[in-house]
Amino acid sequence: MTLAEATATAAPATLTRAAAETHGFLSPTGVEIAFLLVGLVTFGAAIVTVTTKQLVHAALWLVVALGGLAVEYLLLTAEFIAWVQVLIYVGSVVVLLLFGLMLTKAPIGRSPDADSANRWAALVVAVAAAAALVWVVVDAFRATWIDLDGPAAGSTEATGASLFQNWVLPFEALSVLLLAALVGAIVLSRKEKPESSSPPVNSRTATGSSPSVPDSRNHPIGRKGAVEATSATGPPAQGTGSAEQEGGAR
């Protein structure tokens, strides 16, 4: 069992053994029972998320899974993380996902082709990976216990102090990353507006694509230019409306 010994060197051996003395392997505490039950709920919700055929329901079951994880964090005394989880994940990420489903016109109700034909290979891979990971993990941490007594390890005060003393630079870098993501998302989702400032230039858009750009059907400029020339209406107002128009023009 060299793997277990390898991981055990990360922590002082004495404390580990001290923890082992107070707990037998087959005497779960209340925390463990709660953790187990909530874990089952979470796992079940996750399973349903990846198997259900109703796309919106999948997002909602994801909420359950993420909420379950928040409860797990609380049980692990990481309260700040738990509330951040609820705020960001449940609050905004899921909302974004739902918006995305709406904007891409996900079918309401059962959609028969929610799973690709790859699912059997995926199942095999996932089960194999799960078996490997669980076995390795259990084998490695057979005799390791978390000590949950004493002050909370993840209280806001402790987390904040650690964050702004030791992790300031990554924190600032992260904010730059968020800014870049914001800008990128805006740029990606922007549509080409008709150039109303120079009317005679419509001839360029009318040809469909500039000569330097190869006529690739992946390139949005050519397509959108052609669509703009044929639509001949005012600039499209809403995202859904333009999507419908382009869908119709194709």
Partner 1 sequence: MTTTTLAVLVPLLPFLGAATGLLLGRTAPGFVRPLAVLPPLASLALAAVVAVRQGGDHPVNAATELTPTGSVPIELALHIDGFAALVAVLVALVATCVQIYSTGYLRDDPRYPSYAALVSLFTSAMLLVVYSGDLIVLLVGWEIMGICSYFLVGHYWETPEARAASLKAFLVTKLGDVPFLIGLFALATDAGSFRVTKVLDAVANGGLDHPTLIALLLLAGVAGKSAQFPLHTWLPDAMAGPTPVSALIHAATMVAAGVYFIARLLPVFEASQAAMVVLAVMAAVTMLGSGLAALAQDDIKRVLAYSTIGQLGYMTGALAVGDRGAAVFHLLSHGAFKALLFLAAGVIIHAAGTNSLAAMSRMKDLRARVPDAYWTMTVALLALAAIPPFSGFFSKESVLGAAEHVATGHTEHAPGAAGWVTLVAGLLTALLTAAYATRLWLLAFRGQGTEAPDHGRQPLTMTVVLWVLAVPSLALGALAYRVLPDWFDGRDLTPTLTTSVVGTGVALVGGIVTYAAWRHTSALAARVPLGAVAAHPDGDAGLVEAEAIASHEPAYGDVARASDPADPGRLLLGPLHRHAAVGFHLDALYTALFVRPVQAGATLVRFLDREVVETYVRGAGALPRRLGDAVRRAQTGNLQTYVSALLAGTVVLAVAVVLVATGA
Partner 2 sequence: MHLAYPAVLAALLFCTGLYGVLARRNAILVLMSVELMLNAVNLNLVAFDVWLSKAAEETLHSGQALTLFTIAIAAAEIGIGLAIVLAVHRNRGTADIDKLRDTAEGHGTDSETDGSDSDARTAEQAAQSGRAGKAEATA
- In the region spanning residues 22 to 61, those forming contacts with partner 2, defined by CB under 8 A, are 23, 25, 28-29, 31-32, 35-36, 39, 42-43, 46-47, 49-50, 55, 58-59
d(CA 97, CA 89): 10
Q: What does 35 interact with, of partner 1, partner 2, none (CB < 5 to 8 A by kind)?
A: partner 2
Could you list the residues that contact partner 1 (CB under 8 A)?
1-3, 116, 118, 121-122, 124-125, 128-129, 132, 136
> Any idea which residue has 């419509």 for tokens?
202
Report, in Å, the least distance between residue 221 CB and partner 1. Answer: 24
155: exposed, middle or buried (Cβ count in 10 Å: 0-12, 13-18, 19+): middle
> Any idea which residue has 């990606």 for tokens?
188
Q: What does 247 interact with, of partner 2, partner 1, none (CB < 5 to 8 A by kind)?
A: partner 2
Which of residues 109, 150, 200, 211 is near partner 2 by CB under 8 A? 150
> Any idea which residue has 């359950």 for tokens?
64
Q: Is the dihedral of CA 145, 148, 153, 156 positive or negative?
A: positive
> Is 120 or 200 the residue whose CB approaches partner 2 more closely?
120
Q: What does 1 interact with, of partner 2, partner 1, none (CB < 5 to 8 A by kind)?
A: partner 1
Give the count of beta carbons closer than 10 Å to the beta carbon of residue 225: 22
In 3D space, the residue among 60, 56, 33, 32 whose CA is nearest the CA of residue 46 turns out to be: 60
d(CA 20, CA 14): 10
Which of residues 157, 162, 195, 241 is near partner 2 by CB under 8 A? 162
d(CA 229, CA 201): 11
> Is 6 or 182 the residue whose CB approaches partner 2 more closely?
182
Q: Does 189 bind partner 2 (CB under 8 A)?
A: yes
Listed ranges 108-116, 196-204, 229-237: which one lies at the site for partner 2 (CB under 8 A): 108-116
Residue 117 parent element (H or E): none
Q: Does 116 bind partner 2 (CB under 8 A)?
A: yes
Listed ranges 141-149, 196-204, 229-237: which one lies at the site for partner 2 (CB under 8 A): 141-149
